[in-house]
Amino acid sequence: MSESDQRNCRAGTLVDGNGHICAFFNSREEARRTLLPFIADGLEKGEKAVHIVNANDRDEHLRWLRESQIDVGKLMQSGQLEVLTWPETYLRGGAFREQDAIKMIDQLLTRARREGYPRVRGIGDMQWTRENRMGVEDVMEYEAQLNSIIAGNGDILVCAYDLTRFSGTEIIGVIRTHPAAVIGGVLQQNPFFVPPEQVLAELRERTHLPRSREERV
Do 161 and 25 form a contact (C-beta atoms < 8 A)?
yes
Instruction: Specify the pTM.
Output: 0.88
Backbone angles phi, psi at 156, to 5 degrees: -130, 120
pLDDT at residue 206, rounded to an integer:
79
3-class secondary structure for 118-140? CCEEEEEEHHHHHCCCCCHHHHH
Q: What is the CATH number of the domain that holds 189?
A: 3.40.50.300
Backbone angles phi, psi at 205, to 5 degrees: -65, -40
**Rounded to whole angstroms, how far apart are CA atoms 10 and 55?**
26
Amino acid at 153: N
pLDDT at residue 62, rounded to an integer:
98
End-to-end CA distance of the chain: 52
**Rounded to whole angstroms, how far apart are CA atoms 42 and 37?**
8
DSSP 8-state secondary structure symbol assigned to residue 188? E
Rg (CA), the chain: 18
216 belongs to a structural domain: no
Q: Which of 32, 29, 37, 45 is nearest to 11 (CA)?
A: 37
217 belongs to a structural domain: no
pLDDT at residue 18, rounded to an integer:
62
7 belongs to a structural domain: no
pLDDT at residue 117, rounded to an integer:
97
6 belongs to a structural domain: no
Provide the β-strand partners of residue 51: 83, 123
8 belongs to a structural domain: no
Q: How many domains does the chain have?
A: 1
151 belongs to a structural domain: yes
State the burial class of residue 33 (Cβ atoms within 10 Å of its Cβ: 0-12, 13-18, 19+). middle
Query: Collapsing DSSP states into helix, strand and coil, what is residue 81?
Result: strand
pLDDT at residue 24, rounded to an integer:
96
State the burial class of residue 157 (Cβ atoms within 10 Å of its Cβ: 0-12, 13-18, 19+). buried
214 belongs to a structural domain: no
Provide the β-strand partners of residue 20: 157
Residue 163 domain boundaries: 13-209
pLDDT at residue 6, rounded to an integer:
42
Do 48 and 119 form a contact (C-beta atoms < 8 A)?
yes
Per-residue pLDDT of the chain in tens (217 residues, 90 and over written 9): 334 334 445 444 554 556 899 999 999 999 999 999 999 999 999 999 999 999 999 999 999 999 999 999 999 999 999 999 999 999 999 999 999 999 999 999 999 999 999 999 999 999 999 999 999 999 999 999 999 998 878 999 999 999 999 999 999 999 999 999 999 988 888 999 999 999 999 998 876 544 433 333 3
1 belongs to a structural domain: no
